[in-house]
Structure 1
Amino acid sequence: MTFHHLMLFLHVLAVTAWVGGMAFAWGCLRPAVGVLAPAQRLALWVAVLGRFFLLVWIAIALLLLSGSAMLMEVGFARAPAAWHAMTFTGLVMIAVFLSIWFGPWRSLRQAVHVEDWARGAIAMNRIRQRVAFNLALGVVTIAAATLGLAF
Structure 2
Amino acid sequence: MLQSLLIVLHVLSVVIWVGGMFFAWMFTRPAAVEALEPPQRLKLWNGIFRRFFPWVWATIIAILVSGYGYIFLIFGGMGSAGLYVHAMNGLGFVMIALFLHVFFAPYRRLARAVAAEDWQEGGRHLAQIRMIVGWNTLLGILVIAIGAGGRYLV
> TM class by shorter-chain length?
over 0.9
**SS at structure 1 position matched to 2:117:** coil
Counterpart in 1 of 2:144?
Answer: 142
Alignment partner of 1:48 is 2:48? yes
1:81 Cα deviation after fit: 0.9
Counterpart in 1 of 2:122?
Answer: 120
**SS at structure 2 position matched to 1:53:** helix
Q: Deviations over 1:20-55 (max 9, x none)?
A: 000000000000001211111100101011111111
Counterpart in 1 of 2:5?
Answer: 6
Distance of 2:141 and 2:116 partners within structure 1: 36
Task: Report sequence identity in percent.
Answer: 43
| Unpaired runs of at least 5, structure 1 | none
1:87 Cα deviation after fit: 0.2
Counterpart in 2 of 1:21?
Answer: 20
**SS at structure 1 position matched to 2:87:** helix
1:68 aligned partner, one-letter code: Y
Distance of 2:80 and 2:38 partners within structure 1: 52
Counterpart in 1 of 2:87?
Answer: 85
1:129 aligned partner, one-letter code: M
Q: Deviations over 1:56-96 (max 9, x none)?
A: 00100100100010010211100011000000000100000
Alignment partner of 1:96 is 2:95? no
| Unpaired runs of at least 5, structure 2 | none
2:15 aligned partner, one-letter code: T
1:127 aligned partner, one-letter code: I
Distance of 1:36 and 1:148 partners within structure 2: 42
Distance of 2:69 and 2:149 partners within structure 1: 21
Counterpart in 2 of 1:30?
Answer: 29
**SS at structure 2 position matched to 1:148:** helix
**What is the count of residue pairs matched by the alignment?**
149
**SS at structure 2 position matched to 1:115:** coil
2:40 aligned partner, one-letter code: Q
Distance of 1:51 and 1:126 partners within structure 2: 19
1:10 aligned partner, one-letter code: L
Name the Cα RMSD after superposition: 1.0
Distance of 2:39 and 2:134 partners within structure 1: 23
1:147 Cα deviation after fit: 1.2
